[in-house]
Amino acid sequence: MEIMKGALLNVFGGTFFGNLLTAVCFGVLTIQISSYYHAFPNDGRPLKMVVGFLWALEGFQLACVTQSLYWWFVKNYHNPLALARATWEFAIYQISTVCASVTVQTFFAHRVYSLSANLYLGILVEVLVLLQFGFGAATAIRANILLSFELVVKECTWLVVTWLATQAVADIVIATCMCLLLRRRRTGFQKTDSIINRMALYTISTGLVTSILSCIVLVMFARDGFHFSVLTIGVPLGGFYSITMLANLHTRKSLLTRLATPTPLEIVSFSMKKRMRLNAAGSVGSNHRSTMVNVTRETVRDDMDVRPTKPSYLHPSSLFGER
C-alpha cells in the first residue's frame, strides 16, 4: 500500500473528523463530570481526582490534535514534504488513548477484585491492563520517534495490532468477570435480582462499546494503514473510554432510586400497619371493651439492604478505600 496516495482524504480528513468527534466527546464528558460532582459529592477524593484527570487528558488531546491540524493546514499547506510527516502533537492522541484506557480498565479491575475478593483474579485482570498499556506506550513512543506515516505503517503495524488486541481482550475479560460475579450475587429477591440484572446489562454494554471500537480500528489499520475510518474512530477512542466510565458511575443514581422504590409486598405491608394503627386508635376512644391482640411482626430483609463486609458495587468510591 502506498501511504501517501490520497493522503489528504485518508490521513488529514480522518484526523479532522476524528478531532471533531473528540470535541463532541469532550463536551459530553464535561457535562457528565459536572453532573457527577453535583450528584455524588460524598464520593472519595481519589475517585474525584481520577474523574478530573480523565477530563484534563481529553482536553489536552483535543488541543494537541488541533495544533497538529493547524500546523498542516495553515503553516505548511504549501509544503508537500511537511504534509508527509506527522507531528509530536499528532502522536499525543495515542498516548492519551493509552492513559485513558488503562485508567478506566484499572478502575473496573478494582471492581472485579472487590466483588470477588480474589487477589489472583484481580492480578490477572490487571496484568492484561498493564500489558495493553505497555504495547500502547511502545507504539506511541515509536511513532513519536519516526514521525512518518509511511514508516509507522511499515515498522509499527505489529505493535498497533498487538496493542489494540490486548486492549479489546482486557475489555471483554473485565465485562465477563463482572457479569459472572454479579450473577453469583443473585439472592432470589425480585428487587435485588432486577437491580443485579440491570447492573450486568450496563457492564456488558459499556464493555462492548470500547472492545468493538478497538477491534474495528485493529482490523482496518492492519489492512489499510492510516485510513480515513481508522483515524476517525481511533483519534476519539480515549474519549469513549472516559464516557463509558462516567456513564457507569451515573447509573448508581437510577439503581439507588430503583432500590428505594417500594415493591407491591412492601406497599401491602405498609397499608396493613396503617389500618392496625387506625383500629387501635378507634378502640381506645370507644366505650366498648377492647381486646388485646398480640401482633408478631416478621421482617424479611433484602440482601441489598445489609451493609456488606466487602466494598459494595453500588458505592464505587469505596473501592478506593474511602466511604
pLDDT at residue 273 in the model: 53
For residue 145, what is its C-alpha cell? 520517534
Domain over 7-261 is classified CATH 1.20.1070 = yes
110 has a pLDDT exceeding 60? yes
pLDDT at residue 143 in the model: 85
pLDDT at residue 310 in the model: 44
Q: Confidence band (pLDDT; 50, 70, 90) for 89?
A: confident
Least confident of 18-27, 50-59, 182-191, 243-252: 182-191
Instruction: Please report where in the chains the cell 498516548 appears, as a residue.
Output: 95
Distance CA 112, CA 127 (A): 13
Alpha-carbon dihedral angle through residues 125, 212, 69, 89, given to the nearest 10 degrees: 10
pLDDT at residue 91 in the model: 81
Question: Looking at this protein, which amino acid is placed at residue 176?
Answer: T
pLDDT at residue 7 in the model: 59
Rounded to 5°, the CA angle 272-275-279 comes to: 140
Q: Confidence band (pLDDT; 50, 70, 90) for 279?
A: low
Q: Confidence band (pLDDT; 50, 70, 90) for 222?
A: confident
Question: Mean pLDDT over all residues of the chain?
Answer: 78
Least confident of 20-24, 96-100, 143-147, 316-320: 316-320
pLDDT at residue 224 in the model: 83
What is the residue extent of each domain of the chain? 7-261
180 has a pLDDT exceeding 90? no
Least confident of 149-153, 163-167, 191-195, 307-311: 307-311
158 has a pLDDT exceeding 50? yes
Coil, strand or helix at 18: helix
307 has a pLDDT exceeding 90? no
Q: Confidence band (pLDDT; 50, 70, 90) for 312?
A: very low
Q: What is the pLDDT of residues 19-54, one digit of tens each?
A: 999 999 999 999 999 999 999 999 999 999 999 999
- pTM confidence score: 0.75
For residue 24, what is its C-alpha cell? 463532541
222: left (phi over 0), alpha (psi -120 to 50) or beta: alpha
pLDDT (mean) for 279-304: 47
290 has a pLDDT exceeding 70? no
Write out the DSSP string of 35-64: HHHHH-TTS-HHHHHHHHHHHHHHHHHHHH
Distance CA 200, CA 182 (A): 7
Give the best-scoring range by mean pLDDT among 98-102, 178-182, 208-212: 98-102
Distance CA 160, CA 149 (A): 13
Write out the DSSP string of 224-282: HSS-HHHHHHHTTHHHHHHHHHHHHHHHHHHHHHHHHSPPHHHHHHHHHHHHHHHHHHH
